[in-house]
């Protein structure tokens, strides 16, 4: 028998700052956070715009900050047993620093040994180290594992946490994800012509031109209902459905009918025992291929209900958070559920005729939500869906 | 259980450049499933695990960035393991879960893969799971990272794939000798030696 999965704590950081109030002021108010990046020279890249918060800091610091907030909110005792599952590709700033330092060492004629100056911090480039370091920082005991599945990485971590708890293999799991804007991905996404050309992100609009990157980190504490009850923990919501499915269509483009996304969302709905939800936080990257495919996938899964399910992309305010997208957008969905407010798709102009759902344009709506879903998609045609319900 | 291995002689995969990481995964999984009875792609999962991942692709991109050169679009595409998993999904019509993991417990690529495979089978997420461990022989950055982690890279680029089926018991790992000192891996398989031992036991050959 499947055990109930409860969410008992969260921590979050985006370009708007740290915590739920920063999200309410920015994301829920429909205020894009994009501005010229000042933490490095953007001259070589196709855009200087991204959604950043302050100077560059190590990825491990934002993971530790958001996870500590989640643990505090959940009231987990020190030294608790908890698996730590982190969606991350490692610290890219440390990667650039390694090769810059190596180049300088070589120019100086010197001693570019493997553990030279460039080697300091090199371990932070390894995803698994980030998970282990986070577990050590929290002082929790359990499995430490990094999920490296690009834009669904932290959503995968949450799905895995749900499987561990629902199957009785774990009582408590901390799921996290983090990404901070840096040069490596600005170069990569630029080379793939995926970045917005005009400094704005307009998902589902006819004049959309691509995505912009954003800082993001979040952590959630998931617990079995029995475990939470024993501790007297206050559940914030129940995770009642989850799904993962592949497109089997193309290495870099989504299935044009959103087949994998529909399959993942369908599994999540069936798991929750629901025919529909009151809100969907979409992947909504504002790229040419994603948005129509996602629209078709959501239409397929909701069928006759599709026109009455509000769908928004909060990447229009936060930017694309890459490995952190899944868990940050889960927290945004949680706030929507608890506050009864739908975050808008900001900067919405004219809808693409191929994108014909209720995209909550520009202004937040009030809504009495019982259940909400967040969906994500990634390279390789990998799709995830998570259903949250009020407790 | 069906097992297969691939090494640096794996044939190239169109669209994947510079690094052997994706061709290794592609060859190992194809060899593994190539001898398996046909299965339902919707009920098949593929789980990839590595400690450092595709260091060649990341380092090639980073070095070109530091040198002020434009980034190669193909390196962007292949910089996530999702890309080769997506390619395999297309080849093999797999629409079940595709996961990629990074684990740094010495010798535990195999343990984490088996645990994850068992979880997917037992929770009904899949009826069969292809597990693939992959690690590249270390370049400068990966070598420094392995030293700091206390893990050992294989002497040569290597991937090992295993197919688990719902109807077969999930295998236990063979007992391994104490982890060798980082400077001298006697068997040359590094973080993949648990998988290699499992494959050898399955095939009845010495590792």
pLDDT digits (tens, 9 = 90+) for A261-277: 999 999 999 999 999 99
Partners of B131 in the beta sheet? Answer: B47, B162
State the residue range of the domain holding A352: 5-90+126-389
**Would A70 be classed as within a structural domain?**
yes
Instruction: Please answer yes or no on whether A184 and B15 come within 8 Å at the CB atom.
Output: no
CB-based burial of residue A368 (10 Å sphere; 0-12 exposed, 13-18 middle, 19+ buried)?
exposed
Q: Give the mean pLDDT of A333-360.
A: 98
**Nearest CB partner across the interface for A382, out of B82, B93, B123:** B82
- Nearest CA to A119 among B53, B191, B148, B138? B148
Split into its structural domains, chain A has a count of 1
- For chain A positions 219-258, those within 8 Å of chain B (CB to CB) are 244-252
Residue B155 belongs to domain with CATH number:
3.40.47.10
Instruction: Please answer yes or no on whether B81 and A99 come within 8 Å at the CB atom.
Output: no
**Would A347 be classed as within a structural domain?**
yes
- Nearest CA to A134 among A118, A146, A120? A146
Partners of A373 in the beta sheet? Answer: A280, A387
**Nearest CB partner across the interface for B65, out of A96, A131, A192:** A96
Contact yes or no for A327/A176 (Cβ under 8 A): yes
Task: Answer yes or no: A283 catalytic.
Answer: yes
Per-residue pLDDT tens digits for B146-176: 999 999 999 999 999 999 998 887 787 777 6
Give A376→chain B minimum CA distance, Å.
13
Per-residue pLDDT tens digits for A103-140: 887 777 655 444 444 566 999 999 999 999 999 999 99
Asked if pLDDT for residue A4 goes beyond 90, the answer is: yes
**Which of A53, A160, A255, A320 does the annotation list as catalytic?**
A320
Question: What is the rounded CA–CA span in Å between residue B103 and residue B109?
Answer: 6
**Nearest CB partner across the interface for A251, out of B53, B62, B86:** B86
**Would A153 be classed as within a structural domain?**
yes
**Would A107 be classed as within a structural domain?**
no
**Would A160 be classed as within a structural domain?**
yes
Split into its structural domains, chain B has a count of 1
Q: Give the mean pLDDT of A20-35.
A: 98
**Would A131 be classed as within a structural domain?**
yes
Query: What integer pLDDT is reported at residue B184 of this predicted model?
Result: 44
Q: Give the mean pLDDT of A218-228.
A: 97
Instruction: Please answer yes or no on whether B81 and A382 come within 8 Å at the CB atom.
Output: no
**Nearest CB partner across the interface for B90, out of A95, A163, A249:** A249
Query: What integer pLDDT is reported at residue B62 of this predicted model?
Result: 97
Instruction: Please answer yes or no on whether A98 and B141 come within 8 Å at the CB atom.
Output: yes
Question: What is the rounded CA–CA span in Å between residue B168 and residue A13?
Answer: 44
Give A201→chain B minimum CA distance, Å.
21
Residue of B nearest to A164 (CA): B119
Would an 8 Å CB–CB cutoff place B76 in contact with chain A? yes
Instruction: Please answer yes or no on whether A149 and B98 come within 8 Å at the CB atom.
Output: yes
pLDDT category of residue B183 using cuts at 50, 70 and 90: very low
Per-residue pLDDT tens digits for B26-77: 999 999 988 887 889 999 999 999 999 999 999 999 999 999 998 899 999 9
Residue A173 belongs to domain with CATH number:
3.40.47.10
Instruction: Please answer yes or no on whether A145 and B112 come within 8 Å at the CB atom.
Output: yes
**Would A369 be classed as within a structural domain?**
yes
State the residue range of the domain holding B114: 2-203
């Amino acid at each position: 028998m499947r055990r109930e999965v409860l969410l008992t704590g969260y921590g979050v950081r985006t370009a708007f700052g740290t915590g739920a109030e920063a999200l309410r002021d920015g994301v829920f108010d429909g205020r894009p956070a994009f501005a010229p990046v000042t933490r490095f020279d953007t001259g070589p890249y196709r855009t200087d715009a991204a959604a950043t918060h302050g100077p560059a800091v190590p990825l491990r610091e934002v993971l530790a900050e958001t996870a500590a907030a989640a643990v505090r909110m959940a009231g987990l005792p020190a030294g608790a047993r908890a698996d730590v599952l982190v969606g991350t590709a490692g610290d890219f700033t440390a990667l650039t620093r390694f090769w810059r330092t190596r180049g300088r060492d070589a120019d100086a004629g010197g001693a570019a040994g493997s553990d030279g100056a460039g080697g300091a911090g090199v371990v932070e480039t390894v995803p698994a180290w980030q998970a282990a370091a986070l577990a050590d920082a929290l002082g929790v005991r359990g499995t430490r594992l990094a999920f490296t599945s690009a834009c669904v990485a932290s959503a995968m971590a949450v799905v895995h946490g749900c499987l561990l708890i629902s199957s009785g293999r774990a009582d408590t799991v901390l799921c996290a994800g983090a990404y901070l804007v840096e040069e490596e991905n600005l170069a990569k996404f630029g080379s793939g012509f995926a970045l917005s050309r005009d400094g704005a992100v307009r998902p589902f609009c006819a004049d959309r031109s691509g995505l912009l990157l954003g800082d993001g980190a979040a952590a959630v504490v998931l617990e079995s209902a029995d475990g939470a009850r024993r501790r007297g923990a206050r559940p914030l919501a129940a995770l009642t459905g989850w799904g993962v499915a592949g497109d089997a269509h193309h290495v870099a483009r989504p299935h044009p009918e959103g087949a994998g996304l529909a399959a993942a969302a369908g599994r999540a709905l069936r798991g929750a025992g629901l025919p529909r939800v009151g809100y969907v936080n979409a992947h909504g990257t504002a790229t040419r291929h994603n948005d129509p495919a996602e629209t078709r996938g959501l239409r397929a899964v909701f069928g006759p209900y599709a026109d009455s399910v509000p769908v928004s992309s909060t990447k229009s305010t936060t930017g694309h958070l890459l490995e952190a997208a899944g868990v940050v957008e889960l927290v945004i969905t949680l706030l929507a559920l608890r506050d009864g407010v739908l975050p808008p798709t900001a900067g919405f102009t004219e809808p693409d005729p191929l994108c014909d759902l209720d995209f909550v344009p520009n202004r937040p709506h009030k809504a009495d939500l019982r259940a909400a879903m967040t969906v994500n998609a990634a390279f390789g045609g990998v799709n995830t869906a998570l259903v949250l319900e009020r407790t | 259980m069906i097992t297969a291995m691939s090494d640096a002689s794996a044939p190239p995969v169109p669209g994947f450049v510079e690094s052997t990481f994706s061709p290794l995964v592609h060859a190992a999984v194809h060899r593994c499933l190539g001898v398996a009875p046909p299965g339902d792609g919707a009920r098949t999962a593929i789980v990839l695990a590595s400690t450092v991942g595709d260091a060649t692709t990341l380092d090639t991109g980073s070095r070109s960035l530091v040198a002020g050169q434009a980034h190669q679009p193909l390196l962007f595409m292949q910089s996530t393991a999702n890309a080769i998993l997506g390619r395999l999904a297309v080849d093999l019509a797999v629409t079940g879960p595709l996961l990629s993991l990074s684990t740094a417990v010495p010798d535990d690529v195999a343990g984490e893969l088996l645990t994850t495979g068992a979880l997917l089978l037992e929770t009904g997420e899949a009826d069969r799971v292809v597990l693939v461990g992959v690690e590249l022989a270390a370049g400068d950055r990966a070598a420094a990272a392995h030293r700091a982690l206390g893990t050992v890279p294989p002497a040569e680029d290597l991937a090992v794939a295993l197919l688990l089926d719902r109807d077969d018991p999930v295998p236990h790992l063979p007992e391994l000798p104490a982890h060798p000192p980082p400077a001298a891996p006697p068997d040359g398989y590094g973080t993949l030696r648990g998988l290699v031992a499992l494959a050898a036991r399955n095939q009845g050959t010495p590792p």
